[in-house]
Amino acid sequence: MTAAAEGAGRRLELGTVVGEDRPQTRSRRILSIWLRSLAMDRWRAVNDALDDPRPLVLIADTAHGPRIEAVSVAGAAAGAGRGMMLADARTLCPGIVTALYDPAGDRDFLEKLAVWAMRWGPWSAMDAPDGLLVDVTAVPHLFGGEERLLADVHAAFARRNLAIRSAIAPTAGAAWALAHFGPERTILDDVHDMTARLADLPVAALRLDEDVTGVLRRLGLKRLGELTAVQDGGGGRDAIQRRFRNRRSPAANPLIRLDQLLGRVPEPLLPVIPRQMPLVQRRLMEPIRHRALLDQVMHDLALDMVRELEGREEGARRLELGLWRVDGEVVLRRLEFAAATRDADHMCRLFSSRLDNVDAGFGIEMVRLRASWAEPLSLEQSDFEAAAAYHGTSLATCIDRLAVRLGAKAVRRPVPFASHIPERAQRWQPPLEPERTSQEVFEFHYRPLKMLEKSERIAVLYATPDGYPKRFRWRGAVHEVARVEGPERIAPEWWRERGNARLRDYYRIEDETGRRYWIYRQGLIGDGRGGAPDWYLHGLCA
């Protein structure tokens, strides 16, 4: 519970770009940590199977059946390998144990690890899918030197049962290459002998895509030294440049990667910045079982939350209420607001309808309120004159109340959408979101006030092939058409619909008692897209 609570109060964000790696007099020191078997280690830790001797694999479903994504040591000894199909592994080792591979969970875990890794340096970045980069420039002396720093890193990860390899180098590229392919715990000191020290590494150490590595291997360039030798000897760089001339991304261009590795071009890191979300809680002396007491606690919490938000000049968009029961159960209630708010009464009122079905059991001993989504909301002086003039609620409050009772999808605003088909020309969005700019509808296109959800088929007497409608039957009653305007022809959107979609001819009509409708004929006689055209009633005019 405490571990979950620690993690719960924190949200991670990718912040601005810092730590540009430009060639400079004092070199940077980057620590690269490679978690060799992150998925497997995490699965073992989560499922309490640290010393499970059985061969274990993590599988992901593919179009061709389950494929192995991670293998335990015992599994590897039994013959299973990463990328193998599970069926093949089963033939080698029938007693293999499988579990589901969870890349999203791994990524979250890596994000938390990146924050934790800030104990070794001021900036740390995720190196997805299974690595971390920490900027340790001017830090190692605090740990007693770089060797001691690496020893500390290894000890800390060993305590968490995570297998790692690590390296420290002046650039992120070099540190990554050494962590993955160099000797254990390499420390690369000087900028000048980098080329020589890295020459023995395979070209895969350049963090290239698979196909690019393949191309280099076919060219006979297997080591970094060979690549640099080709570059430096007589116009070789130009040849490689020509071959990869339209590869812009660093992961597809070995020259860019090589320059990054050697520190000739900068490689910015995206640091992970932890952000604490406002969280308030009450531990109760006596477990509470009654609603009135819970309402009181809720109100106190809301006041605390408002104070917390005020300090940060923010307003809550989403609140999560956790009720910890004596028997260890946790009841969660979640609420979203249409606009950022700092109104304690409003929060209490919306939560009160959500608390009706809470089962208190033997009592609730802790209540916690957390704003997992907050937006900037400037502080303002409460205007007592305005409060006296306009009694009643604000629009955001009204929409919140409606959304809590009727569901968020029931409250919405129509917005235009660029389409010729009338029913597609209107879309819906949450009521307080800003409207996207769009082209206005043509004024000479007449549109009805109300549109039926689905156009209804009507039986029409009309002069074939494309004359005006004379009389029609809709919902069991006959209407004589007195006045007609049309047709307005709307062709199908050929870029979206199938080839045999039929056009529509819209007519605006008025019957003999003055009722006005918007009807259409779908298709023409002899357009080769079906038989006699059908008529539909689509809209009701004011």
Distance CA 93, CA 78 (A): 6
Q: How far is the CB of 414 from other proteins (least distance, A)?
A: 4
Cα–Cα distances (Å) from 441 to 18, 93, 489, 538, in that order, read 47, 67, 16, 18
Q: How far is the CB of 349 from other proteins (least distance, A)?
A: 12
For 444-507, where are the alpha helices, taking DSSP H only? none
State the virtual CA torsion across 522, 528, 529, 533 in degrees, nearest 10: 30
Find where tokens 């297997």 sit. Answer: 222
Q: How far is the CB of 525 from other proteins (least distance, A)?
A: 24
Q: How far is the CB of 478 from other proteins (least distance, A)?
A: 12
Q: Is 199 in the site for other proteins (CB under 8 A)?
A: no
Q: Is 475 in the site for other proteins (CB under 8 A)?
A: yes
Q: Is 449 in the site for other proteins (CB under 8 A)?
A: yes
- Closest to other proteins by CB, 284 or 339: 339
Q: Is 445 in the site for other proteins (CB under 8 A)?
A: yes
Sheet holding 97-100, edge to edge: 65-71, 56-62, 97-100
Return the CA Rg of the chain.
33
Q: How is 526-537 classified by DSSP, letter by letter?
A: TSSSSSSPEEEE
For 9-85, where are the alpha helices, taking DSSP H only? 38-46, 73-78
Q: Is 513 in the site for other proteins (CB under 8 A)?
A: yes
Q: How far is the CB of 347 from other proteins (least distance, A)?
A: 17
Cα–Cα distances (Å) from 235 to 229, 232, 238, 240, 242, in that order, read 11, 7, 5, 9, 11
How many residues bind other proteins (CB under 8 A)? The answer is 56
For 230, which DSSP code? H
Q: Is 247 in the site for other proteins (CB under 8 A)?
A: no
Give the residue from 279, 222, 211, 219 showing the smallest Cα distance to 247: 211
Chain CA centroid to CA 221, Å: 39
- Closest to other proteins by CB, 109 or 517: 517
Q: Is 542 in the site for other proteins (CB under 8 A)?
A: yes
Distance CA 5, CA 324 (A): 11
- Closest to other proteins by CB, 257 or 342: 342
- Closest to other proteins by CB, 497 or 512: 512
Q: Is 514 in the site for other proteins (CB under 8 A)?
A: yes
Give the residue from 125, 126, 173, 175 showing the smallest Cα distance to 146: 175
- Closest to other proteins by CB, 426 or 500: 426
Q: Is 426 in the site for other proteins (CB under 8 A)?
A: yes
Q: Is 413 in the site for other proteins (CB under 8 A)?
A: yes
**Contact track, other proteins, 77-116, x by CB under 8 A:** ----------------------------------------
Per CB under 8 A, the segment of 180-188, 235-243, 315-323, 425-433 that binds other proteins is 425-433
* Residue 283 Rama label (left phi>0; alpha psi -120 to 50; beta): beta
Q: How far is the CB of 395 from other proteins (least distance, A)?
A: 4
Q: How far is the CB of 348 from other proteins (least distance, A)?
A: 17
Q: Is 487 in the site for other proteins (CB under 8 A)?
A: no
Helix axes 344-354, 291-312, angle to 10 degrees: 140
- Closest to other proteins by CB, 63 or 386: 386
CA–CA–CA angle 249, 165, 116 (5° rounding) = 85
Q: Is 353 in the site for other proteins (CB under 8 A)?
A: no
CA–CA–CA angle 42, 44, 45 (5° rounding) = 65
Q: Token digits for 247?
A: 């590869």
Q: Token digits for 80?
A: 């299973």
Q: How far is the CB of 434 from other proteins (least distance, A)?
A: 11
**Contact track, other proteins, 204-223, x by CB under 8 A:** --------------------
Q: Is 248 in the site for other proteins (CB under 8 A)?
A: no
Q: What are phi and psi of 317, to 5 degrees?
A: -105, -30
For 136, which DSSP code? -
The residue type of 30 is I
Q: How far is the CB of 521 from other proteins (least distance, A)?
A: 18
Q: Is 46 in the site for other proteins (CB under 8 A)?
A: no
Q: How far is the CB of 416 from other proteins (least distance, A)?
A: 6
Q: How is 184-223 classified by DSSP, letter by letter?
A: TTEE---STTHHHHHTTSBGGGG---HHHHHHHHHTT--B
CA–CA–CA angle 235, 241, 245 (5° rounding) = 155
Distance CA 358, CA 355 (A): 5
Q: Is 410 in the site for other proteins (CB under 8 A)?
A: yes
Q: Pick one of 160, 483, 489, 496: the residue that binds other proteins (CB under 8 A).
A: 483
Q: How is 340-389 classified by DSSP, letter by letter?
A: EE--HHHHHHHHHHHTTT---TT-EEEEEEEEEEEEE-------HHHHHH
Q: Pick one of 41, 508, 519, 520: the residue that binds other proteins (CB under 8 A).
A: 508
**Residues numbered 315-334 forming contacts with other proteins, rule: CB under 8 A:** none
Per CB under 8 A, the segment of 83-91, 273-281, 359-367, 476-484 that binds other proteins is 476-484
- Closest to other proteins by CB, 87 or 482: 482
Q: Pick one of 233, 356, 453, 498: the residue that binds other proteins (CB under 8 A).
A: 453
Q: Is 405 in the site for other proteins (CB under 8 A)?
A: yes
Q: Is 435 in the site for other proteins (CB under 8 A)?
A: yes
Q: How far is the CB of 497 from other proteins (least distance, A)?
A: 21
**Residues numbered 385-404 forming contacts with other proteins, rule: CB under 8 A:** 386, 389-395, 397-399, 401-402
- Positions in the binding site for other proteins (CB under 8 A): 386, 389-395, 397-399, 401-402, 405-406, 410-416, 422, 425-426, 428, 431, 435, 441, 445, 447-453, 474-475, 477, 482-485, 508-510, 512-516, 539-542
